[in-house]
Each structure stands twice: as structure tokens, then as C-alpha cells.
A = this chain, B = another copy of it.
Amino acid sequence: MEQKLNTLKERLADVLRVNQAVAVLSWDQQTYMPEGGTQDRGDHLATLSKLAHEMFTSDDVGRLFDDLKPYAEQLEPDSDDARLIAVTDRRYRKQTRVPSKWVAEYAQATAVAHQAWVEARHDSNFAHFQPNLERIIELRRQYADMFAPYEHVYDPLLDDFEPGMKTTEVQQIFGALRPQQVALIQAISQRPQIDDGFLLVHYDEQKQWDFGVEVVTRYGYDWKRGRQDRSPHPFTTSFGIGDVRITTRFDPLRIHTALFGTMHEAGHAMYEQGIDPALGRTPLADGASLGVHESQSRMWENLVGRSREFWSYFFPRFKEYFPGQVGNVDLETFYRAINKVEPSLIRVEADEATYNLHIMLRLELEIALMEGSLQASQLPEAWNTRFQEYLGITPPNDALGVLQDIHWSEGLFGYFPTYALGNLISLQLWEKINQDIPDLPDQICRGEFGALLGWLRENIHRHGAKYEPQDLVQRVTGSKINPEPYVRYLRSKFSEIYGL
């Protein structure tokens, strides 16, 4: 049996290495590849992805799982080996239910849809994208049906990103959250608005880079096992625990982009850097879910990076970098400016208090589309109606509304809720951390992040993908994912800032 386990591990390691090669090729594509490489790179990625899929879903891997499952039941349930078999067997069962014919059709449909979306967004012409979206919804329904019976047609999609999570759970969580967030931003909208004009002037790009490096170095991002590059869409990518890279986008007239973007990506990256090296050659060298991953990025970006404590340490340094922009600004004015709440059209630029509402409306629309209670043709109107209801504004056109995100064009249904779940998880962890490290605020005021990072390593990072997200959150905080800590946080923070 141990020999079979080793054989399985070798097979999984090969698949992992191919997938990490895909990540390198994709990183290069988004950072340095010359335009002439586009077509070849598409072929590289398609070939390697196909190989990884074939290697993982082969019959002899299935036989190894069949043989090993009784053995796994005798192991200590939380042991690396038991979890490796459980997690990868689950993935195997899921992936082998998907016929290769469907995979090919889906790849084809999303490639075409992506191009149509680019054009539709450019012209703000939803009708141009609509037939492609209809095709993707049809394919995604077929996908869900491969996993019938299910509680909800959306479950198999959500499960790809939040293993084990059910649609009804997310609906309950968001149902409790939404009215409280809507009420909060309505209250804020009655108060005098903050002036953040000094953030929207020219900030030298190299100095933005240098300040960001200083911050995430202090956070504990390990540069010997990573690096930073520029890319149009920031991301974090891992080629192994020893090489976890971040990218950043710089906007000279909007310093938020690089400043908080770098903190955000470093949060993702420190998660990957903190995985137990014993898991390094297995598919467990990954985050527990997209939601848990996002809890790490949002914690370092928002709970740390937008806190008064953080800036009481870093603002003097920031002033040294940018004396012309903030030399005469005091800490309190700066703190309020970076925490300005204002309903806006674009999700990726949304503030802490409004962000989740962007997600919730997307989730509701995705579920309705999958259920068939909403047709693709009705989507722009449904988007705009909900947007007005939740955020109090209506997009002037579809490019700034329903067409703004890439996800649906790539077939990514089930992905959006993970962003909001990440926010919620970050606060559940944060409350526990502050119990365990009572002087954390003082530490942050001194620019010390070692205890915080150590706590995250011990409780979250080292486990990699061993546990499903609800299980992990329960183990660490004593309860499943719930919105109350986040609501408490928003109310407390913004009541003080806006004098509610």
C-alpha cells in the first residue's frame, strides 16, 4: 500500500509540475511576452493543460484511488496522507465526470465568448455578447447536470472554487449581510463627504514601487522566494513554495491602485509562501479555497493596510516619499481619505463598505441565470435595477455595468461569491487573532507584523488545501463562515469615520 501511495504521489507530483509550468507560461504572457508570441503561447497553454488533465484523469490513477481508500481510512484523519487521498480523490471523481467532448466545446465557446466580450465592452453593446453568454450558460447547466442529483443547480459550480460549500449556505450568509450593508451606506450617504483630492494627483511611479516594496517587505513577503513585476491586471502566482510572485499595476493619477494592490497581492503570496514544505510536491500546496485565499489578501490590504495603526507607523515614511502630495496632510485626514465610502460603478475600485454589494448582485444574477428564472437578454436591465437598489446609482451604459468583468466571458460562474466570502472570513479570523494577540494594534503601530504573520502561518497557511473552507474556518474560529464580525467591523469603523 505504501508503494501504491508513493506511485500516486509521483503521478500527482508530475501533474503539479505541469500545472506549475502552465503558471510560469501564463505569468510570462502577462508580464514580458512580446505581442508576436500570442498564438504560440495559446498552443503551449492548451497542450500543457490537456496533458495535465489526461495525466490526472487516467484510469490507473482511478485504480490507485480505489486501492488506497480503505488504506486511507486507517490513517489518522488529519494526517497529510489521509487528506491528500481524500482531497485528490474528490477532485478525481469530479473531473472524470466531465466528458472530453464537453471540455472541447467549452474551451471553444469561451475562447469565442472572450473575444466577443472584449468587443462588446469596447462598444458598450451587450447584444454582441448575449448569444455567447447564452451558449456559456447552456454549457454550464450541462456541467451542473453531470453532478446531478444536487441540492441546487449552482452547487457544482460554487464547489469548484469553494469545495464543499452549498448555495443555500451562501444565500443565507449574504441574505443576512445585504440589508445591513445597504443600511450602512445609506447612513453614510447622509453625512458630509470626505475630500480625498490629494490622493488623485500625480504620484511618481518608481516611488510608488519603492514604497510598496518597503511595506510588503515589512509585512514579511519573502523576496528570496518571490518577486514583483508589472502587469495590466495584478495577480499572484505560485510555481512552488519557493517561487511565489506578485504583479502590480501602477496608475500615476490613482495611487490606491498600486498601494493597496501590492498589499493585496502580498497577502495572497504570503499564504502560498507559508504552506508546509511537506506538502510542497502535492496538490495540497495550494490555498484551501478562493474565499480563504481572499481572506488573506483582504486582511493585509484592508484590516492592516487601511487601519489607523498601520498609517500611524507608515505615514511619516509616506510623507518622505511624497512630500509634494501629502507634506501638509495630517494622519487623520489621510486615514479618512483612504477610507472614503462612495458607491461607484466598478467593482475592482469599490471601497470596503460597498464592495460586497457588487458581489451579491452578481451572485443573485448568476443563480437566476442558472435556474432559468432570468434570461440572458434580461440581464442588463436586471443588473441596473439591482444596482440602483443596492448602491443608489444606475450605470450610464453596459460597459460600466453588466459588461465590466471578464469572468462570465471565461465561463467562470461560481467564482464571484468567493470575493465576498473572503471579506467575511478575514474578519472572523481577525477577531480571533485579536483575542490571541491582545497587543496587535500596538504592534502594528510599531510596524511589527511578525506575530500576525506567525499566527496566520500556524493557523491557516501551513495547512495548504488540506481542509475544506468551512471546516478550516470552524477549526480556527469555532464557527462556520458568518457575516456578523464583518458587519461589526464596518459599523464600528465607519461610524467613527463618518460620525454616524
A residues with a Cβ closer than 8 A to B are: 13-14, 17-18, 20-21, 24-25, 28, 32-41, 43-44, 46-48, 51, 222-227, 229, 239-243, 245, 280-281
Contacts and interface: CB of A to CB of B under 8 A. Distances in A.
A32 B227 contact: yes
Given A17-B46, A44-B240, 7 more contacts: A13-B47, A20-B44, A21-B21, A36-B222, A36-B225, A40-B241, A51-B51
A305 to B, nearest CB: 24
A34 B225 contact: yes
18 contacts: A17-B43, A17-B44, A18-B47, A21-B21, A21-B25, A21-B47, A24-B25, A24-B28, A32-B227, A34-B227, A36-B226, A36-B242, A37-B225, A37-B240, A38-B242, A40-B280, A41-B239, A51-B51
A43 B242 contact: no
A44 B281 contact: no
A41 B239 CA distance: 8
Contact of A40 (B20, B36, B38): B20
Contacts of A46: 17
A239 B21 contact: no
A210 B34 CA distance: 18
Given A21-B21, A28-B28, A41-B239, A36 B281 contact: no
A41 B281 contact: no
A34 B41 CA distance: 23
Contacts of A229: 32
Contacts of A32: 227, 229
A contacts with B: majority SS: helix
Given A13-B43, A41-B239, A48 B21 contact: yes
The list of the 4 closest CB pairs from A to B, nearest first, reads: A40-B240, A37-B243, A36-B225, A36-B242
Contacts of A40: 20, 239-243, 280
A34 B243 contact: yes
Contacts of A224: 34-36
A34 B223 contact: yes
A28, A38, A41, A243, most chain B CB atoms within 10 A = A243
A323 to B, nearest CB: 28
A15 B43 CA distance: 11
A25 B22 CA distance: 10
Q: Which of A43, A224, A226, A241 has the most CB of B within 10 A?
A: A43
A406 B40 CA distance: 31
B243 A33 contact: yes
Contacts of A43: 13, 17, 240, 281
Among A21, A25, A46, A225: residue with most chain B CB under 10 A: A21
A281 B47 CA distance: 12
Contact of A47 (B17, B39, B227): B17
Contacts of A47: 13-14, 17-18, 21
